């Protein structure tokens, strides 16, 4: 750990202990595959990669959450459980060959998602208070679960729902998908046999037909993608291409994504939107309201918290809350966090495990302190 952080290290460790979090050690060099599987192949470029003597791809840890969750799964620890970490991460974006120091908490297995979410935000504030000493903050909160509930209530085609959720938090990608869904249907040549299988939903017959075509072309079923995967991808491609959504649906979606209000007003604003659009948002809205109520009882200055319906992270493992905390006037976050209930299954667990966490970027705090002096 860099020497300049030695003075605040006891404060951070004491806060972790007061929150009932177990401080864990995470190896600096990690297997790269779990990070690539969860964060996406496109992130590989930003990792510092190397190779073991048995040709396993390794990397300097770009993140703490994934290895902490992997260790929890490996040990088979009971839940709920709270883990804390304190150390450097390494990434080429931004360049950090010397490491970016982070401290954070991973909260695993608490079934009360709304309370765990609020606690995570409060803990992030407490850690910032212990390092920046009472500075004013600006916090932005988003919620993928509410966006997902809106898509479902609008009856957007299922496969498009999945694609739109993956683009949540990436406005350019989301707008491009809206344009595809509203635009003219693309021309596609499909032979009559394929049309029949697709129209009737005969997946087994479609797979057998693809096997026959591969056989006639002397292509081994074990070469490249198997026939079952080709059939699945073809079905998905046709369904995506043929689905269209009325302009009125996009108008409602854009109305929702434009909501940006102080957190105290957010439940009423979302309820007003749902009523005007004739939508029922169910459990997602109930949890949203409860979380806002619990945050109100935490040591979080609500006047600094904004809820933005369009704020999210386009990563598959995020499932609900996302948040960032900044110093006003500086758009680089000092802390960020969110809920990732499906992370455990992406890492090999047989079923989802509720999880939420945050990371405070101590290197950024140090730079912010220097700018304020």
The edge-to-edge listing of strands for the beta sheet with 49-51 is: 29-31, 57-60, 49-51
Burial classification of residue 185, based on how many CB atoms lie within 10 Å of its CB (0-12 exposed, 13-18 middle, 19 or more buried): exposed
Tell whether 64 is in a known binding site: yes
Q: Is 197 part of any known ligand binding site?
A: no
∠ Cα 151 153 159 (to 5°): 45
Q: What residues contact residue 280 under an 8 Å CB cut-off, 6+ apart? A: 153, 274
Q: How far apart are CA 325 and CA 337, in angstroms?
A: 9
Q: Is 291 annotated as a binding residue?
A: no
268 labeled part of a ligand binding site: no
One DSSP character per residue, 209-254 reads HHHHHHHHTT--TTSSS-HHHHHHHHHHHHHHHH----HHHHHHHH
- Nearest in space to 103 (alpha carbons), one of 198, 205, 184, 1: 1
Residues with Cβ within 8 Å of residue 103, at least 6 apart in sequence = 12, 16, 84, 85, 86, 127, 359, 360, 362
Please state, in angstroms and rounded to a whole number, the distance separating the CA atoms of residues 147 and 284: 9
Whether 61 has a binding-site annotation, put simply, is no
Q: Please state whether beta strands 81-89 and 22-23 pair in parallel, antiparallel, or not at all (unpaired).
A: parallel
Output the known binding site. 63-65, 102, 313
Output the known binding site for L-histidine. 63-65, 102, 313
């Amino acid at each position: 750990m860099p020497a300049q952080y030695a003075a605040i290290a006891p404060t951070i460790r004491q806060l972790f202990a007061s929150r009932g979090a177990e401080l864990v050690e995470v190896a600096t060099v990690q297997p790269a595959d779990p990070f690539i599987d969860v964060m996406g192949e496109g992130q590989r470029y930003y990792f510092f990669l190397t190779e073991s003597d048995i040709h396993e791809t390794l990397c300097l840890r770009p993140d703490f959450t994934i290895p902490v969750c992997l260790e929890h799964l490996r040990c088979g620890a009971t839940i709920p459980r709270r883990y804390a970490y304190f150390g450097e991460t390494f990434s080429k974006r931004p360049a950090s060959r010397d490491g970016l120091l982070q401290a954070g908490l991973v909260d695993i297995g608490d079934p009360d998602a709304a309370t765990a979410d609020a606690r995570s935000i409060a803990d992030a504030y407490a850690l910032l208070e212990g390092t920046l000493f009472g500075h004013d903050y600006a916090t932005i909160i988003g919620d993928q679960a509410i966006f997902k509930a809106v898509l479902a209530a609008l009856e957007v085609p299922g496969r498009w729902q999945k694609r739109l959720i993956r683009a949540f938090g990436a406005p350019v990608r989301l707008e491009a998908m809206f344009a595809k869904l509203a635009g003219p249907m693309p021309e596609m040549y499909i032979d009559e046999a394929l049309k029949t299988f697709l129209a009737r939903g005969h997946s087994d017959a479609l797979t057998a037909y693809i096997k026959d075509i591969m056989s006639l072309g002397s292509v081994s079923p074990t070469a490249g993608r198997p026939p079952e995967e080709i059939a699945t991808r073809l079905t998905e491609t046709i369904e995506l291409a043929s689905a269209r959504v009325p302009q009125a649906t996009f108008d409602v979606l854009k109305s929702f994504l434009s909501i940006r209000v102080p957190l105290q007003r957010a439940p009423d604003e979302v309820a007003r939107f749902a009523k005007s659009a004739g939508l029922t948002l169910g459990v997602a809205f109930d949890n949203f309201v409860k979380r806002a109520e619990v945050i109100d009882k935490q040591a979080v200055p609500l006047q600094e918290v904004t809820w933005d319906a369009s704020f999210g992270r386009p990563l598959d493992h995020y499932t609900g809350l996302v948040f960032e905390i900044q110093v006003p006037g500086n758009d680089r976050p000092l802390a960020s966090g969110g809920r990732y209930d499906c992370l455990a299954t992406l890492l090999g667990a047989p079923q989802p495990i509720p999880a939420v966490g945050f990371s405070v970027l101590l290197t950024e705090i140090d730079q912010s302190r220097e700018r304020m002096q």
